[in-house]
Amino acid sequence: MVVTRTYFFRIRKIVVFIGCLYLLNSCTAPKFTFEQNGIGELSFHQGKWLINDVLAFKNQQDLLNHSLKKWGQVITDSLFTIDDIRKDKLISDKIKFELNSDELSSLKLGSGCDFLINTKVDILSEELSALSSPRESEFGNTIRSNEVKVEIRIYDLNKHTLISSRAAFGTIKETAGENGNNGISLALNTEGIAINGIDRIIDYYTKNKKSTTSQL
């Protein structure tokens, strides 16, 4: 009886393992396009950097925590959050994504920082869950998609101006025909696409960062 039970558990583990491999193999990865404006090569070796809370419809704290970890690998000890600065400075706990010269000047005086990183996440469509079951269409091919826009803007607080911005448009699409899909598909949700977009943008700045402490 013990042998039979052990054999059963081994078979179950093998089945679960094969199922996981199948789902991973059928995972739909997002496709990205990008828009770049302003300076692409920046030096992160000078000044104090303030990272704003992520402007997003949901999961703001998770996205901020991920951004902090990713940017922290580039800027290290010179990166500060709004909460860090507000411990001994008088600045608003809400900073807009788009800022004019006067607002940047006030933020410089209030924070004492030299640069500002703003991140915004817009969900353009959210029609797919992590696990999507087969479906059929009575109207020929139809498309469901998860689409996210991530934009990061970098401001120079000393010059009171926007110096660089990069946007990532991430999309996952599923097309259903009259006969439906062949099986269950695995797709990233919108938060996963947003994290991918943040990573892609920060990786771009990391790859193109200046290696010296010369002025931006």
Helix (H, G, I), strand (E, B) or coil at 29: coil
The reported pLDDT for the residue numbered 184 is 47
User: In terms of Cα–Cα distance, which of 33, 34, 70, 41 is closest to 54?
Assistant: 70
Q: What is the pLDDT of residues 26-76, one digit of tens each?
A: 456 889 999 999 988 899 988 999 999 999 988 999 999 999 999 999 998
Domains, the chain, ranges and CATH?
Answer: 29-207 (3.30.160)
Q: What are the structure tokens assigned to 70, written together? A: 């990713």
pLDDT under 70: residue ranges of the chain: 1-28, 129-142, 175-187, 212-216
Give pLDDT, residue 11.
67
**Cα–Cα distance, 36 to 17 (Å, whole number):** 42
Give the pTM.
0.79
Tokens of 111: 């924070």
Rounded to whole angstroms, the Cα distance separating 96 from 94 reads 7
* pLDDT single digits (tens) 176-188: 544 445 444 556 7
